């Protein structure tokens, strides 16, 4: 049975069609869904703006005042260089501020162009549109411990897939599904998929607050 959840579209979902096209012969989709904006994302964007707006305003003000002050200098020799170089020092700070202000919009766009799927063979994550689309997936045999965290009705799954060494430290690679409105259901399907190749896998969920 296919459990679908198109949470941010009305009518046919083009990403769902793209997801279906990625399925192999004989592979069936058990669940698919689009991420939703959780309170952490909304408040995170608000916090960025609280910092970015005064940062950018001060950078613009400083650059303007520097330009105004340098305009009175004689346009000869070193004065001609400082007339442009000193105000230009503030431009990188303006660009940083504008980048911080734009960051929440780019993050939101990435979410809008993301779809997840759980088939009878693998877990799939599809991102982007058209020629810029990327597809990543993990097979059932790669599914390790699954950690579910939820906050105010929106959940996240971290599926441990492998371990590796980084500067002498042992780290764990994960495959993440974010912004799930039905995280518990997706967790159950992922665990069932993992047990389909490893019946001895633990059945107790590993949850995080």
pLDDT at position 1: 45
What confidence tens digit (pLDDT) does each residue in 123-166 have? 999 988 777 888 999 999 999 999 999 887 888 999 998 876 66
Q: Which two tokens stand for residue 149?
A: 């965290």
What confidence tens digit (pLDDT) does each residue in 168-195 have? 677 788 999 998 988 999 999 999 999 9
Handedness of CA 172, 177, 181, 187 (dihedral sign): negative
Region 104-121 average pLDDT:
78
Q: Are 193 and 201 in contact (CB under 8 A)?
A: no
The topology under which CATH files domain 3-37+113-208 is PH-domain like (2.30.29)
| Alpha helices (H) in 23-169, listed in sequence order | 39-70, 77-88, 91-112
Q: What is the pTM of this model?
A: 0.62
What confidence tens digit (pLDDT) does each residue in 18-54 have? 999 999 999 999 999 988 865 555 555 667 777 788 8
DSSP output for 106-128: HHHHHHHTEEEEEESSEEEEEES
Residue 59 pLDDT level (bands cut at 50, 70, 90)? confident
Domain boundaries defined on the chain: 3-37+113-208, 42-108
């Amino acid at each position: 049975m296919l459990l679908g959840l198109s949470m941010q579209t009305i009518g046919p979902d083009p990403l769902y069609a793209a997801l279906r096209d990625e399925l192999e012969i004989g592979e069936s989709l058990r669940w698919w869904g689009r991420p939703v904006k959780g309170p952490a994302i909304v408040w995170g964007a608000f916090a960025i703006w609280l910092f970015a707006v005064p940062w950018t305003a001060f950078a613009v003000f400083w650059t303007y005042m520097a330009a105004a002050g340098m305009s009175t200098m004689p346009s000869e020799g070193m004065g001609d260089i400082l007339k442009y170089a000193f105000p230009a020092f503030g431009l990188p700070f303006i660009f940083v501020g504008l980048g911080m202000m734009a960051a929440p919009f780019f993050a939101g766009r990435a979410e809008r162009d993301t779809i997840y799927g759980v088939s009878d063979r693998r877990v799939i994550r599809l991102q982007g549109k058209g020629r810029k689309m990327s597809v990543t997936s993990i097979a059932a045999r790669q599914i390790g411990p699954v950690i579910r965290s939820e906050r105010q009705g929106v959940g996240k799954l971290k599926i441990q897939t492998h371990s590796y060494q980084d500067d002498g430290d042992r780290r764990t690679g994960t495959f993440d599904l974010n912004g799930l409105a039905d995280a518990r259901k997706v967790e159950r399907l992922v665990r069932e998929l993992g047990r389909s190749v490893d019946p001895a896998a633990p059945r107790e969920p590993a949850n995080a607050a």
